[in-house]
Amino acid sequence: MEVLQRTANRGSIATGGYDIANSLKFEQDNSEAMTRTATASQGGNRKTWTWSGWIKRTELGRHMYLFSAGGTGLQILGADNIRFSLYYNNTSYYLDLNAKLRDTSAWYHIVGQLDTTQSTAQDRVKVWINGERQTSFSNDSAHNIPQNADVQHLNEATGTSTGWMKICDWYASGRFFSGYAAEWHFTDGVANNPTEFGEFDDDSGIWKPKAYTGSYGTNGFYLDFSDSANLGDDASGNSNDFAENNITSADQATDTPTNNFCTLNGLTPATTSAYTTEGGTTYNGSYSNPEYALMASTFGVSRGKWYWEVKNSGTNGALTGTGAMRYENPNYNNFLSNTDGGIATYYTYGTAANKIYYFDGSAQTNVAYSSFPNAGTGDIISVALDMDNGKIYFAINNTWGNSGNPATNTNPVGLPSGFITGTYTPAATVGSAGTSTAYYNFGGYTEGTISSAASDENGYGNFEYAPPSGYYALCTKNLAEYG
């Protein structure tokens, strides 16, 4: 059962003046997590507490934690469903949801509430996703928690041997989260309903965040990830700060529930030859005949003017490409320029210099693109896609090929009239016995180092180079205006 597609938050709605500026990118492969250890004097309420947080997943099918304290915590199982685990009287109790969280383009809001003072067993442990209480479980032993039980580990005065609480990891370590986190609250001694953290939009019915104005209790905290120099800072006023483990200021992102950015779509390859890491922005592809490691993104556009960047991080092969393709009926088991409407520059292919390749429905064609050399390791390819006029432009290190100027609609790639139609999406590819790693930057986050921090004319995105006038980052605030 896929969860709540009707109310999935892709950030494309008005937020009533409440905007979330930042999120934090977590990567399982880097063992990124946060930890806080309480002192003996910091025991909290073990009967009643609430955890609330927004997440955007970027890797599926892996067991990972959102928070843990000993045997108590909130997990995402390998089947992509939520487990709310509780430890009482040296016994584990589970609430395993049947709902699956598999939409890597959307933000999910999860609330886990414990209140063992309730007389009704079903009301002692509750989980909501996007404002809707979950009532379908494959295991609901957590509802057998006795009334007034003091659940172990979380809020214990002495903490646990590995820390009072871990964010985005298991208390024994090794089950890290991959994705984005925003607006994480923990309220000690308070049984909050989700309506204190979010609300349904009047027009769209989509669940959206709102400011929390309630209390936090002794061990409560609020992580807004707004201070890049102290990402574990507790903004609740309690000073219950978290220590960052393998996290730096570079992991801060602007991809949030109120402005959702495009990422690579790790679900699109027809094979296992390509995968994405680092918040869905790093492309890892390897060619093994006949697999071409083609990967699309999470956004498709049919109008407007859009900008993104790709940094060549290194290759070991003959053919690596980036560009865009039609969203409808792609052939993922081929090169980008051999699938429907595909347009690509093969930036590490010796004979590809000064050429752009496209597929017109029956054959691959290349066109001359003067002053456009191969991109070496560390070089940045800029892409400007003009869906209003059916044009596309490529630049290397801010020099546009063919003496083009996207802002004035001059000297684009020489495509047939009417070629760019329908819905297009950014895409990546590798082939010809090669491997590739590339840092994609749609503006919300990138693993590649940014030295200039340029944004579009609306102030969105964080790019190495300023987008051409009239071109915008692929984020939902811009899509709502131009898309």
What pLDDT score does 430 carry? Answer: 83
Cβ-in-10-Å burial (0-12, 13-18, 19+) of 154 comes to buried
Query: 149-182: per-residue pLDDT in tens?
Result: 999 888 877 644 444 789 999 888 889 999 999 9
Query: pLDDT per residue over 388-416, tens digit each?
Result: 999 999 999 999 999 999 999 999 999 99
CATH of 274-482, one of 2.60.120.10, 3.90.1150.10, 2.60.120.260, 2.60.120.920: 2.60.120.920
CB atoms within 10 A of CB 80: 17
What's residue 14's pLDDT? 44
Distance CA 7, CA 258 (A): 14
Distance CA 108, CA 40 (A): 35
Distance (Å, rounded) from C-alpha 305 to C-alpha 385?
6
Neighbours of 478 (CB within 10 A): 25
Average pLDDT over residues 284-302: 84
Domain ranges of the chain: 5-253, 274-482
Q: Contact, 249 vs 450, CB < 8 A?
A: no
Range among 161-165, 276-280, 325-329 rated most confident: 276-280
Q: Which pLDDT score, from 0 to 100, does residue 376 have?
A: 84
* Neighbour count for residue 161 (Cβ, 10 Å): 9
On whether the CB atoms of residues 424 and 300 are closer than 8 A, the answer is yes
Indicate the pLDDT class of residue 424, thresholds 50, 70 and 90. very high
What percent of the chain is predicted at pLDDT more than 90? Answer: 71
pLDDT digits (tens, 9 = 90+) for 50-63: 999 999 999 999 99
What is this structure's pTM? 0.94
Residue 39: predicted pLDDT: 64
pLDDT, position 15:
47
DSSP string, 382-427: EEEEETTTTEEEEEETTEEGGG-BGGGTBS---PPTT-S-S-EEEE
Residue count of the chain = 483
> 251-287 in b/e burial notation, b at 16+ Cβ within 10 A?
bbbbbbbbbbbbbbbbebbbeebbbbbbbbbbbbbbb
pLDDT at 464 over 70: yes
Q: How confident is the model at residue 5 (pLDDT cuts 50, 70, 90)?
A: very low
Backbone angles phi, psi at 414, to 5 degrees: -75, 85
pLDDT in tens, 242-253: 999 999 999 999
DSSP state of 460: -
Q: How far is 201 from 8, CA to CA, in rounded Å? A: 12
Contact criterion met (CB below 8 Å) for 43 and 154? no
On whether the CB atoms of residues 60 and 102 are closer than 8 A, the answer is yes
Q: Residues 279-291: what's their mean pLDDT?
A: 82
Report phi then psi at 188, rounded to 5.
Answer: -90, 115
Compute the average pLDDT of residues 214-241.
96
Q: Is the pLDDT of residue 3 over 60?
A: no
Instruction: Flag whether pLDDT at 432 surpasses 90.
Output: no
CATH class in words for 5-253:
mainly beta
Least confident range from 77-86, 154-163, 335-344, 442-451: namely 154-163
Amino acid 373: pLDDT: 84
CA dist., res. 173 & res. 111, Å (int) = 23
Cα–Cα distances in angstroms (integers) from residue 426 to residues 130, 164, 407, in the given order: 28, 43, 20
Write down the mean pLDDT value for the chain: 90
pLDDT of 188 above 80: yes
